Structure 1
Amino acid sequence: MAQQPRTTDASNATNTDSKTSLTRRSYVQSLAAVATAAVSVGATGAAAADEQYEVIEAEGQTVTISDGETWENKLIDMTTGGDITVIAEGTDWTIRNVGFHGENTSGAGSATFGVADTGGATSTVENVYLGDGSDSQNGSGTGHGQTAFWVNPDHSGHIDFRNLNIQGFADNAIYASAPGNAGGGTVHIDGCFAANCYVSHYRLATEGSRVTNSSVLVDEEGFEGRGIWAWAPGTIEVDGCQLEMNGANTAIDAGANGNGTTVVVSDTDYDEGAGVAEHDGSSVQFDDDVGTDPEAFVPDGVPTSAEEAASE
């Protein structure tokens, strides 16, 4: 059965952006680890020239990606029971064609990807498979635990997230609300699939950030997190999405920590049973083409296995 949300996450009045400090700590620890255990973009193993992708065993290492660099065609073996952290900073960097094979059972409770465009330009994450999920930290049935993508507060540019498959993560699929209180950078989540993650699936905060042509599914296969969670200041745009919650949690949740925001929704179906929440003066505005008969789907181009992602 899908896990029930914790009281602190089911009640907006008592919820705080606690992952900011937790993940910032994990992020800083990862940066510290770079000095002794970093794996540079050009040295993440020895792939044969005729192989489609490089296999990397997760062993607690940190991969760093900087200005203008591309990290691609990697298959990460999570069956080792270890963790791996990928940190992308600077600007005009790219992560693509990366698949994670096996559930993250490390119990690290950190972020698999810590990303930020800190140069005010655009960076890209595309064609990534994280569909095998993670367990809960300390064995808890409702989180917290591993985050799939954490957008660092210092993010000041733009990140395009395209063709991602994220399922079963214990602490947010794409956690991109932190720049709302700091760097102010934007994100565009397009053509992505997220399912059965805890806390939320798509979490955004900044003016110009969008979720388009994407799906959320919550069923009996894992955690029950919010579909889309919008933080201040907004406005957040949602267009062409399917939010199939099966009555669990909230399809669109607007506002947090005493601060309101605005969500503009168009050409989207959401689960009326899960409904919409508006906190602290927030507003969820529906266009005429919004319906209540969602059918989540895996968008074209989204990888359905680690090998498929790595082979692109």
Structure 2
Amino acid sequence: MAIEPSASETNGSEEYGVIPARGQEIHVDRGETFANKLIDLSTGDSVCLRVTGSNSVIRNVGFEGCYRGGRFLLWIDGDPGDVLVENVYMGDGATREGSGCVHGPGGVFLHHGNEADVRLHRCNVQGFPNNGFHCSNTAAGAGSVHFDRCFGKNNGVATFRCGGGADLIENCVAYTDGTDYGHDDDEYLETNGRPVWVWNGGTVTIRDSHFADGPYPNAIVAGANDAPGRISFESGGYRGPIQRTCGSTVDVSPAVSDDPDLSIPDGVPTSAKAAAGGFGRPSNRWRANTDVDLPHSIVFAAGESGEPSAYAFEADAVVTAGHHDARISDGYGVHPAVQGVVEDTVEAYWFRGNLEALSVDGDATVSIQYDGRDADAHEGPKQS
């Protein structure tokens, strides 16, 4: 029986442990769960979370800091069965300075001996020189990979790399831009990788996913090592060329747009602490009803220390979450309770009724304004 992802998209405010990177290898064996961990990469050392057995789960794990070690952060080599990797953040980038490999360290690696069916759900991987998701061994192996609502950008070689006939890229986003995660001595610019690279195996299905070129000149590449790749691109969008090498075939449905939506998919964590605490970006299924009257506002602003502050509160009725620039979007999310982390930014909410159980852990400031909504201007809550 397949291991199903958790039903909740934003089940945050969970306790988590902190593990400094010290060159260690952390094993997750058959049937085990590794969850709610913040792995501190500021030490400059390597660390590897290694899955050695199937029917195992990795959930709510955040890797914090630019990675200067030499290994893949997550290595999967399971026996027949299922492996679920869910709500994982590797978005602070990496450099090549600590690696003996010409490409440097990578994010996720699926070993050629892996026989498990791997589901990567709500993962954020950015700025790794040696692939974001290196899973092309499915082209010749017994296992498979299902990328489900994952985000990646600026990964060298490739972000989504696979090749098996049972492989699926679904509700995912990848592209390249000019983000600097911390250059190493040879000035790797984190932009010279394929958003999607499909190897020779079976036909890989892409559904409801969006990709774009940038400093790297192609959105999708099919084919490798003088052998063709095969892709069925059913829905989503892309911008930029599709490179078909060695007789590769990429069937693009008329339902695929030339105007991709490159926003981070719903539910994907946007910081290491958010991932470790069980937070993901609010899901579409909590979209607000704009007819709901939400007259009051609350704003959380990061403190002068620049350190993250965790907050939580409940309202008497409904709460709708705002964007990170403190401007409220009526359609962003409805919850009876909210937990979050503010760091170097401002987060704001409209709500109705009385505030309950308001707490802040850190030096963030809180501003509350009752009956402060201007229904005509929609300018968002003001800080006081």
Provide the TM-score with structure 1 as the length reference.
0.78
Deviations 1:159-191 (A, max 9, x none): 00000011111110000012323x321100010
Alpha-carbon distance between aligned partners in 2 of 1:137 and 1:266, rounded to the nearest angstrom: 40
Amino acid at match of 2:249: S
Q: Secondary structure at the match of 2:45?
A: coil
Post-superposition offset of 1:244: 2.4
Q: Is the Cα–Cα contact under 8 Å of residues 253 and 276 in structure 1 kept in the other structure?
A: yes
Post-superposition offset of 1:250: 1.7
Q: Secondary structure at the match of 2:139?
A: helix
Q: Is the Cα–Cα contact under 8 Å of residues 149 and 175 in structure 1 kept in the other structure?
A: yes
Alpha-carbon distance between aligned partners in 2 of 1:155 and 1:265, rounded to the nearest angstrom: 26
Q: Which has the higher contact order (CA 8 A, sep 6+)?
A: 1
> Does the alignment pair 1:130 with 2:90?
yes
Give the direction of change, closer, same or farther, for the CA distance of 1:271–1:180 in structure 2 (3 Å limit). same
Structure 2 equivalent of residue 185 of structure 1: 143
Say which structure is richer in helix. Answer: 1
Q: Is the Cα–Cα contact under 8 Å of residues 57 and 84 in structure 2 kept in the other structure?
A: yes
Alpha-carbon distance between aligned partners in 2 of 1:163 and 1:297, rounded to the nearest angstrom: 13
Structure 1 equivalent of residue 162 of structure 2: 204
Post-superposition offset of 1:51: 7.5
> Does the alignment pair 1:264 with 2:232?
yes
Structure 2 equivalent of residue 300 of structure 1: 266
Post-superposition offset of 1:249: 2.9
Deviations 1:69-98 (A, max 9, x none): 000000011111111011102210111100
Alpha-carbon distance between aligned partners in 2 of 1:207 and 1:229, rounded to the nearest angstrom: 14
Provide the TM-score with structure 2 as the length reference.
0.64
- Give the structure with higher Rg (CA): 2
Q: Secondary structure at the match of 2:138?
A: helix
Post-superposition offset of 1:261: 2.2
Q: Is the Cα–Cα contact under 8 Å of residues 138 and 145 in structure 2 kept in the other structure?
A: no
Structure 2 equivalent of residue 117 of structure 1: 78
> Does the alignment pair 1:71 with 2:34?
yes
1:52-201 pair list within 5 angstroms: 52-106=15-69, 108=70, 110-118=71-79, 120-137=80-97, 144-181=103-140, 183-201=141-159
Post-superposition offset of 1:235: 0.7
Q: Secondary structure at the match of 2:201?
A: strand
Alpha-carbon distance between aligned partners in 2 of 1:224 and 1:254, rounded to the nearest angstrom: 16
Structure 2 equivalent of residue 11 of structure 1: none
How many residue pairs are counted as aligned between the two chains?
255
Q: Is the Cα–Cα contact under 8 Å of residues 99 and 105 in structure 2 kept in the other structure?
A: no
Alpha-carbon distance between aligned partners in 1 of 2:228 and 2:73, rounded to the nearest angstrom: 29
Alpha-carbon distance between aligned partners in 2 of 1:116 and 1:74, rounded to the nearest angstrom: 21
Q: Is the Cα–Cα contact under 8 Å of residues 196 and 221 in structure 2 kept in the other structure?
A: yes
Unaligned runs of 5+ in 2: 1-12, 180-189, 279-384
Deviations 1:232-271 (A, max 9, x none): 1121011111102236232111111111121000212111
Alpha-carbon distance between aligned partners in 1 of 2:20 and 2:87, rounded to the nearest angstrom: 20
Alpha-carbon distance between aligned partners in 2 of 1:276 and 1:117, rounded to the nearest angstrom: 33
Alpha-carbon distance between aligned partners in 2 of 1:280 and 1:269, rounded to the nearest angstrom: 24
Amino acid at match of 1:125: V
Alpha-carbon distance between aligned partners in 1 of 2:200 and 2:175, rounded to the nearest angstrom: 25
